[in-house]
């Protein structure tokens, strides 16, 4: 089928590439001409495992195209997928302006009956408004333009795999015709398809993401209590994981969740609940726990140190999770700012997120401290007075306790991802602090 995907971020680009991989003819639309040229060269604008290889393969095969010419792109496709951003606004609500822009462009330039599919995460009821908005601005009033919901459930770092081998595909439609079109699009994937109404599909997306955020915050809350009463969160989570009612995923304690989904989606659903006159107490608690959890290790270190001024602080890991260069809501952001304000000289290492972090904090002086970016863990740890671990990259996992002892001036480690064994670190002579252990 002839498909168009509006937006080439995590949602749009991954969807477009995977549709092409399954044999569809796909055009990805973006407003950034330089980004389009970059993608035509086979270079992905985001770090995502396996994505560039599929971009290059399908572009060479003629199934994948990139353009800024939305007028031509929206003229005659069978379906248009909207994958633009819905960033969080100061009050927690979702900013739908990018979706509105795409919808108006579609309405003004589409020339045949078409299904418009919203993949972006949007508040419940948005697809109803999108359909009406398109009809309001539709130039060719005789056309039948219907809107469907098809929320994504990809995880950054494994987005291609999550799309090609998803546990299920959620489709929300208001007619059999729209449902059949989406089933035909996804038929080559060979995945279970769960069909429901548009509003139920929109709600399913929030319900899933917020439930996972709840699990993370719950485990972090339990971990904080474990520290106070002498239990080990690793033992607790291992014991919990055997319970099929609970499951083994999202039970790891740490310094909180980040990324493009959980922080934004928890706040957005809480906002929509308030607008409906309901208080989502569980989701609000997850947000509160996560906010406090991010800087828990820094506060521990602050009570241990007299001052951070002119101390070399090694920071291992900047991305919010391994496998991505995304910094949105990453715990490293809050902690680096606090360390710089306290006068620390930071030596930071991340295998892929360095460039993005450097845009926020260019190398040099900031506040009372400074930040420097290094090529490997050893350069960060060499003669360091203190070390913070914020991302569990494999390069960090491969370090041995003896390396901290050998390289650091003061072997003092605050591990926000529970990467290392407590006894192993202590036996190596490391003063070691983690979460819930």
Per-domain boundaries in the chain: 2-196, 204-230+247-292, 295-433
Residue 253 has pLDDT above 90, yes or no: yes
Phi, psi of 346 (to 5 degrees): -90, 135
- Going through 222-354 in order, the beta strands assigned E by DSSP cover 312-316, 345-349
pLDDT tens, position by position, 154-202: 999 999 999 999 999 999 999 999 999 999 999 999 999 999 999 999 9
Q: What is the mean pLDDT of residues 245-262?
A: 95
Residue 260 has pLDDT above 90, yes or no: no
- Asked if residues 202 and 149 have their Cβ atoms less than 8 Å apart, the reply is yes
Residue 338 has pLDDT above 90, yes or no: yes
* Within this chain, domains 204-230+247-292 and 295-433 share the same CATH topology: no
Q: Cα separation of 392 and 120, whole Å? A: 28
Q: What is the pLDDT of residue 180?
A: 98
**Across the chain, what does the average pLDDT equal?**
97
Q: At what angle are helices 331-341 and 296-304 packed, to 10 degrees? A: 30
Q: What is the pLDDT of residue 172?
A: 98
Q: Domain 295-433 adopts which CATH fold?
A: Rossmann fold (3.40.50)
Considering the entire predicted model, what is its pTM?
Answer: 0.93
pLDDT tens, position by position, 2-34: 999 999 999 999 999 999 999 999 999 999 999
The structural architecture, per CATH, of the domain 2-196 is: 3-Layer(aba) Sandwich (3.40)
Residue 430 has pLDDT above 90, yes or no: yes
Q: What is the pLDDT of residue 14?
A: 98
As a whole-number percent, the residues of the chain with pLDDT over 70 amount to 100
Q: What is the mean pLDDT of residues 207-236?
A: 97
pLDDT band for position 411 (cuts 50, 70, 90): very high
Q: What is the mean pLDDT of residues 333-351?
A: 98
Q: Does residue 50 come out as left (phi exceeding 0), alpha (psi in the -120 to 50 range) or beta?
A: left
Q: What is the pLDDT of residue 30?
A: 97
Active-site amino acid positions: 261
- Going through 268-308 in order, the beta strands assigned E by DSSP cover none
| Integer angstrom CA distances of residue 162 from 11, 68, 415 | 11, 27, 29
Count CB atoms within 10 A of the CB of residue 423: 10
pLDDT tens, position by position, 276-328: 999 999 999 999 999 999 999 999 999 999 999 999 999 999 999 999 999 99
Write the CB contacts of 154 (distance below 8 Å, at least 6 apart in sequence): 10, 11, 14, 162, 163
Q: What is the pLDDT of residue 230?
A: 97
Residue 119 has pLDDT above 90, yes or no: yes
Class of domain 204-230+247-292: mainly alpha
pLDDT band for position 107 (cuts 50, 70, 90): very high
């Amino acid at each position: 089928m002839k498909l168009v995907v509006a937006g080439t971020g995590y949602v749009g680009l991954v969807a477009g590439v995977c549709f092409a991989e399954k044999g569809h003819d796909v055009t990805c639309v973006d407003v950034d001409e330089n980004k389009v040229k970059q993608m035509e060269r086979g270079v992905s604008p985001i770090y995502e495992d396996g994505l560039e290889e599929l971009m290059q393969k399908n572009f060479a095969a003629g199934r994948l195209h990139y353009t800024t010419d939305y007028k031509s792109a929206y003229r005659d496709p069978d379906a248009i997928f909207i994958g633009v951003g819905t960033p969080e606004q100061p009050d927690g609500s979702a900013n739908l302006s990018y979706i509105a822009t795409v919808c108006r462009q579609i309405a003004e330039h589409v020339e045949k009956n078409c299904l418009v599919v919203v993949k972006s995460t949007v508040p419940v009821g948005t697809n109803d408004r999108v359909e009406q908005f398109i009809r309001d601005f539709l130039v060719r009033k005789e056309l039948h333009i219907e809107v469907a919901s098809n929320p994504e459930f990809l995880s950054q770092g494994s987005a291609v795999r999550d799309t090609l081998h998803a546990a299920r595909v959620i489709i929300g439609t208001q007619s059999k015709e729209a449902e059949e079109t989406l089933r035909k699009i996804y038929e080559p994937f060979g995945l279970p398809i769960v069909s429901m109404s548009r509003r139920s599909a929109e709600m399913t997306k929030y319900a899933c993401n917020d439930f996972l955020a709840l699990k993370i915050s719950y485990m972090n809350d339990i971990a904080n209590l474990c520290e106070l009463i002498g239990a080990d969160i690793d033992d607790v989570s291992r014991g919990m994981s055997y319970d099929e009612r609970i499951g083994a995923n999202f039970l790891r304690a740490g310094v909180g969740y980040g990324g493009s989904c959980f922080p934004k989606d928890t706040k957005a659903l809480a906002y929509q609940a308030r607008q409906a006159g309901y208080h989502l107490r569980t989701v609000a608690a997850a947000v509160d726990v996560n906010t406090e959890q991010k800087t828990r290790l820094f506060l521990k270190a602050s009570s241990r140190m007299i001052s951070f001024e002119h101390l070399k602080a090694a920071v291992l890991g900047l991305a919010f999770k391994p496998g991505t260069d995304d910094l949105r809501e990453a715990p490293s952001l809050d902690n680096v700012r606090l360390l710089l304000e306290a006068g620390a000289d930071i030596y930071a290492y991340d295998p892929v997120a360095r460039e993005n972090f450097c845009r926020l904090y260019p190398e040099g002086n900031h506040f009372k401290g400074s930040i420097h970016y290094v090529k490997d863990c050893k350069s960060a740890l060499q003669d360091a007075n203190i070390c913070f671990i914020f991302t569990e990259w494999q390069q960090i996992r491969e370090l041995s306790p003896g390396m901290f002892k050998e390289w650091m001036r003061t072997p003092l480690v605050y591990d926000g991802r529970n990467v290392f064994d407590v006894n192993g670190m202590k036996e190596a002579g490391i003063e070691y602090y983690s979460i819930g252990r």
